[in-house]
Amino acid sequence: MSKKVFISYSHRQGDWVWGRLVPCLRAGGAEVLIDHDRFVAGKAVVGQMDATQDAAEISLLVLTPDYLSSDYCLHEMERAIARDPQFAHGAVIPVKRVECPMPDAITAPNPLWVNLCEDRDAAQWDLLLQACGADLGVAAPAWLATRDEILQFLRRGQSVNLVVTGRPQWRELIAHVKEEFITDLGIVDLERGSSVSRPGLVRGILESFGVKRPVPAKPDDLAALHNALSARRLSLLALLHLDHVNHRDDYGIDLFATLRNLMMESRKLVLLAQSRQPFIELLPHDHPLSSIDIKTVELHGR
């Protein structure tokens, strides 16, 4: 069961907390309570810290030398341990991020703590996420590496095929990419009923970019798509459940020819295609999209 997790950390570790810890917790289903989200101007910092911490079920302490030399951090640590001084209820999770001596208040009860000094240790990530009621469906380092690889390609203007097996949290990964890195990423789900028809798909693509206009019937729908995307500097589009293209006779070959033109000739479209089968296996060899340059990134769930 997911839990409310308060993260107590030194801002010197902010990049790691915000870039790796928070995304994994949230994608795994935990509700993260943290200063960056919760604090507002005009109110006392300590009061807001205490109120945020009190609203959580778990206090996660990111221990480093910087943390242990910060009065604010020590205040949060002392309040957390006071709620569960014998570490009997799982309300405090010590996480050593940088080598440092453990405080006596932690060593005396001798709880099982998490060692993420090397944050590619999948077993330690599993220990942490399980304690927070979070589950990525895949090892956290693999989930993060997949995110980073996708971002690397998209930022270069290269299209990506995210091939998913098992049940990892891939939807949450794409949502995280949009929310934190590529805010103008359009997302269209081919499982939605509105995407079954070609004009419906075109309308969904345009609306994902904030373009709200009537979409004409076939074949003029493709002209509307081409003109709208050609007028933009560059569009990054995520198509989810691309496996369904094999069963969408209404799409027609002209749709894919239009997409190929936008991607390969006009250089106006970059695609993030999520599927269960590799892109190359979804399409016949003579299909317009079979020759596009698309990089494959795999995410294998447990």
Any idea what the CATH number is for the domain that residue 70 is in?
Answer: 3.40.50.10140
Both 170 and 204 in one domain: the answer is yes
Both 125 and 148 in one domain: the answer is no
Question: Residue 137: which region, alpha, beta or left (left: phi > 0; alpha: psi -120 to 50)?
Answer: left
Both 11 and 103 in one domain: the answer is yes
Both 123 and 165 in one domain: the answer is no
Both 294 and 207 in one domain: the answer is yes
Both 110 and 19 in one domain: the answer is yes
Both 276 and 166 in one domain: the answer is yes
Q: Please say which residue of 131, 155, 176 terminates a domain.
A: 131
| 219 upstream amide cis, omega within 30 of 0 | yes
Q: What's the pTM?
A: 0.93
Both 166 and 292 in one domain: the answer is yes
Both 168 and 217 in one domain: the answer is yes
Both 282 and 182 in one domain: the answer is yes
Both 98 and 73 in one domain: the answer is yes
Q: Please say which residue of 113, 131, 149 terminates a domain.
A: 131
Both 178 and 231 in one domain: the answer is yes
Range of the domain at 43: 4-131
Q: What does each of the 302 residues of the chain score in pLDDT, given as a tens digit?
A: 779 999 999 999 999 999 999 999 999 999 999 986 444 444 445 667 788 899 999 999 999 999 999 999 999 999 999 999 999 999 999 999 999 999 999 999 999 999 999 999 999 999 999 999 999 999 999 999 999 999 999 999 999 999 999 999 999 999 999 999 999 999 999 999 999 999 999 999 999 999 998 999 999 999 999 999 999 999 999 999 999 988 898 998 899 899 999 999 999 999 999 999 998 888 777 777 777 889 999 999 99
* Structural domain count, the chain: 2
Any idea what the CATH number is for the domain that residue 259 is in?
Answer: 3.40.50.300
